[in-house]
Amino acid sequence: MQFLNPIFLLGLLATAIPILLHFLSRRRLDEIPFAPLRFLLPTQERQMRRLNLRRLLLLLLRIAIVTAVVMAMARPTLTGGLASLVRTGEGASVVLLVDASASMRAETTTGTLFDAARREVAQIAAGLNREDEAAVMLFDQSAKALFSEFVRDPGLVLAELDEAEASYHGTDYLNAIESAMDLLQRGSRNHREIYLVSDFQAVEQDTLRLARFRERLKSELPTNIYLRPVSGEPFVNRQVVRVDRPPTLLRSGQTAEVGVVVRQDGDSELPVQLFLQIDGTTVGETELRLGVGSTQRHVFPLTLPDTGDLAGSSRLRPDRLPVDDERFFVLSVGAQVPAMVITGIEGLVGERDPMLFLEAALDPTGRGDGNFALTRSLASELDPDQLVKSHVVIGVDVRGLGAARLAALGDYLESGGTMLLFVGDPRVRSYTNEKLLPQWTELRLGSFRGEEETHERLEISARDHPALAGFEPEELETLKEVQLRNFYRLPETLGRPLLSFQDGGAAVVELEVGHGRIILCGFHTAATAGDLPYSPMFLPLIQRLAGYLATAGWGRFGRHFELGESVALAAPDGSSATDQFDVVDPRGGRHSARLDASVAPARVQFEAAEVPGIYSFERDGERWALAALNVPESESNPLRLTAQAFRDGLGESGNARFRALEGESARDALRGARQGLAIHRWFLTLAGLLLIAEGLMSRRVSGSIA
C-alpha cells in the first residue's frame, strides 16, 4: 500500500484524542458517600465488568474512526497483486497531454524539462493496462495529437514522441485540456483519463475564457485529469524582458536610443553582459550589475546606418533557460509614417485655432518632410480608404463624422488602428460623450474646468511609458511647468494615465480598443487651453505621443509578434492576388504567405512561425518588410505552480476531477492514483459504519438516564 498524501498520516497522532478523552472521563467522576454500599456491590461488579468492556470497545471504535478518516485523507493506494485483484477490468481512454511550450526548454543536469516530460510519459504509458487505449498530444499555445486515433500499443506513441521537441511558443492549458476532451470523444472506453505532464508555469488566465472553460467542462462526461509535474533543479533566470525602440521617426545618420530591459530573479546581485546586434553585427556591449530580483533598463545609442528595415537583437549569455536570453526587434529607418488629421473646427483663427499649433508640431518645417506624412481631412469629408492606410489618426473635433464614417473609424481602431484624440473644447463634449466614447469605453468627460483666472500644472503619471521614457528628467520638469486653465479631468481608473493634473484627475489616458489604441487628451491645443502650445515641450510631446501610437508595434502595423500569434503585415502598395508572397525564417527556410485582400488595407498573413528571430517578407522574391518574433514573455515566469495550486487556479471544473499525480515514480503514482480513489472511499465508508456503531455503543455506555 502506498499513500498519495503521506503527510496526512501525521493525523494519526489524533488517535491520542479519544484515548485522552477516555481517561479524562474516568477521572472526572463525582464521589458520593453511600452507607448501604454493601447492597450495591454484587450487582455493581457485574455491571462494571460489562461497562468496562463496552468502554474499551468504544475507545477502540473511536480510535478506528480517527484512523479510518486519516487513512482516507492520506489517499492510500493499492499496488501490485492486490491492486489487480480489485481492479475493475474495464479499460480507460487515456490522453497523455505533454507540455511542449518554450519554458520546457529549460535545461537540467539530465537534459531539458521536455526530456524529463518524455520520460514521465514513458513511465505513465508503461503503467497503463492492456485494456486501456492511449493517445499523445503535445501542447503549447495550441495542442496537437501525435496520432489522430487512440492506440492500444503505447510503444507506437512513445516512438513518435521521441522525435518531438519543445517549441518556442507560449502555454495555453485551457486550450490543451479542451483539445484533449475533444480527442476523448473519439475514445471507445467508458473511463476517461487525461494525464497532464507539465512544468506548471504560472500563466495568467483570462477570466472570461476561464468561465467558458468551466462551462464547457460541465457538459463533458466525467473525466479524471491527473497532473504530473516535471521539474529540474532550481536556477536563477536572467532574461531580456523587452527592447524599447525609439517612438520617433528614425532617420539615416541620426543617433537613436534603443532601451533594453533586463531582469534576474535570483536572491543575490549578479553581473550580466548585454549585447546589441544589428544585422548580425555586435554594435553595443555593456556589463550591468543586476540587484536582487531586479529589473534594469540600459540605453544603447545607435547610429542609424541606412534607410529601410534594420534587424536587431539584444542578448545575454545563455543560461539554463536560453529562450528568453535574446529578444529580436526591427527598426524602420527613413520612412515617413502615414498620419491623418481629422478636424471639424472652422472659423477659429490665430492662437485660438488648435490646428495651428498641432500642425506645426506634427510638421515643424511645414514642407512635409517630418516624421509624419500628413493627410488632412474634415470630419464630414473623411475618406475611409485613406483612413485605413494611416498608421495614426489625430482627431481634434470629429463631430461631423456621421454614422457611417464613425463606424469606419471604429472598425479601423478595432483592427489595430490608433488615434490621438483631443477633447479639450467644451463644444465637442456632448458628441464625445454620447457618440464617440460609448463605442470603446466606459470613460466619459466630466464637467469642464473653465476658470480663466487660475492655472493648473501637470504631473507625470507613467514615467516608464514608452512615449515618455525617452525624455530627459529636465525635459519632464519643463513639461511639469506647463499651466493649463481650460480642460477636462479624465477618470484615472478606466485606462492608463500618462499625465495627470496636479489637483487630481488624468490629463492624458491610454485606452485599448480591440487591437488598436487611443490616447485621449483632456485639453486642446490652442492658446486658450493654457500655455502648453508655447511650451518647448509641446512639439516633443505631440511627436512622441503620435510616434508611439504609429510605431510602437501592435496590431496590423506592428512588426513585432510573439510566437504563436498570427503574423499579419499590411501588404505593400500595389499588391495583387497574382503576387507571390514568401517568408524566409531565421534559419533560411522559405515558406509561402497568404495575401488577405478581404480587409482594408490588404494584409499578408503567415501562421507557421516556429522559432524566434527575424522573419523576412518577400514579394516576388524581393524583400519588402522584416518582422521580429519573440518567445512570449510569460514563458520566462520563474513561478512554478504545484499541481494543487494549478488545480485551485482552475477552480470548480464541472465533471473534470483534477488530481495531483505525485510520487517518485510516475508509474507507481499512476497505479496509486487509479486505485487510490476506490480504496480511500473504502476507508470513508468504514469510518461511516464505525461512526454509526460508535453512536449506538456510546448510547449504551453513557445510557439513557431513566
- The answer to the question of residue 703 lying near other proteins (CB under 8 A) is yes
Find the shortest distance in angstroms from Cβ 41 to other proteins.
7
Q: Using CA atoms, how far apart are residues 524 and 532, in angstroms rounded to an integer? A: 9
Q: Which residue has the cell 482516507?
A: 72
- The answer to the question of residue 280 lying near other proteins (CB under 8 A) is no
Q: Which residue has the cell 525564417?
A: 585
Backbone angles phi, psi at 476, to 5 degrees: -65, -35
Q: Which of 7, 24, 30, 109 binds other proteins (CB under 8 A)?
A: 30
Find the shortest distance in angstroms from Cβ 693 to other proteins.
20
Joined together, the cell numbers standing for residue 92 give 480507460
Going by C-beta distance under 8 Å and a sequence separation of 6 or more, which residues neighbour residue 276? 258, 260, 282, 283, 284, 285, 300, 302, 312, 313, 314
Q: Which of 14, 19, 20, 37 binds other proteins (CB under 8 A)?
A: 37
Find the shortest distance in angstroms from Cβ 696 to other proteins.
16
Find the shortest distance in angstroms from Cβ 49 to other proteins.
12
Query: Which residue type, as a one-letter code, is found at position 490?
Result: L
Number of residues that bind other proteins (CB under 8 A): 24
Query: Which region among 30-38, 320-328, 520-528, 582-590 touches other proteins (by CB under 8 A)?
Result: 30-38
Nearer to other proteins, 43 or 188 (CB): 43
- The answer to the question of residue 44 lying near other proteins (CB under 8 A) is yes
Query: Which region among 35-43, 200-208, 520-528, 675-683 touches other proteins (by CB under 8 A)?
Result: 35-43
Question: Within 128-247, where are the H helices?
Answer: 154-163, 173-184, 207-218
Pick from 420, 418, 448: nearest CA to 557: 418
Nearer to other proteins, 24 or 349 (CB): 24
Cα–Cα distances (Å) from 591 to 71, 184, 588, 624, in that order, read 59, 33, 10, 15
Nearer to other proteins, 17 or 48 (CB): 48
Find the shortest distance in angstroms from Cβ 64 to other proteins.
24
Q: Using CA atoms, how far apart are residues 92 and 358, in angstroms rounded to an integer? A: 69
Find the shortest distance in angstroms from Cβ 691 to other proteins.
23
Find the shortest distance in angstroms from Cβ 706 to other proteins.
5
Nearer to other proteins, 566 or 702 (CB): 702
Q: Which of 48, 404, 608, 645 binds other proteins (CB under 8 A)?
A: 48
Nearer to other proteins, 44 or 273 (CB): 44
3-state SS assignment for residue 331: strand
Joined together, the cell numbers standing for residue 235 give 536556477
- The answer to the question of residue 472 lying near other proteins (CB under 8 A) is no
Q: Using CA atoms, how far apart are residues 264 and 415, in angstroms rounded to an integer? A: 35
Nearer to other proteins, 207 or 704 (CB): 704
Nearer to other proteins, 44 or 88 (CB): 44
Nearer to other proteins, 27 or 130 (CB): 27
Which residues, listed in sequence order, are joined to residue 288 by a DSSP beta bridge? 272
84-96 burial string, b = 16+ CB within 10 Å, else e? eeeeeeebbbbbb
| Residues 399/433, Cβ–Cβ less than 8 Å | no
- The answer to the question of residue 43 lying near other proteins (CB under 8 A) is yes
- The answer to the question of residue 692 lying near other proteins (CB under 8 A) is no
- The answer to the question of residue 34 lying near other proteins (CB under 8 A) is yes
Tell me the per-residue interface mask from 421 to 450 with other proteins, x by CB under 8 A, - otherwise: ------------------------------
- The answer to the question of residue 24 lying near other proteins (CB under 8 A) is no
- The answer to the question of residue 51 lying near other proteins (CB under 8 A) is yes
Element (H, E) at 24: helix 16-27
Q: Which of 24, 33, 204, 598 binds other proteins (CB under 8 A)?
A: 33
Find the shortest distance in angstroms from Cβ 692 to other proteins.
23
Pick from 375, 416, 384, 413: nearest CA to 558: 416
| Residues 373/351, Cβ–Cβ less than 8 Å | no
Query: Which region among 32-40, 120-128, 176-184, 298-306 touches other proteins (by CB under 8 A)?
Result: 32-40
Nearer to other proteins, 32 or 85 (CB): 32
Going by C-beta distance under 8 Å and a sequence separation of 6 or more, which residues neighbour residue 245? 256, 258, 329, 331, 551, 552, 553
Binding site for other proteins (CB under 8 A): 29-45, 47-48, 51, 703-706
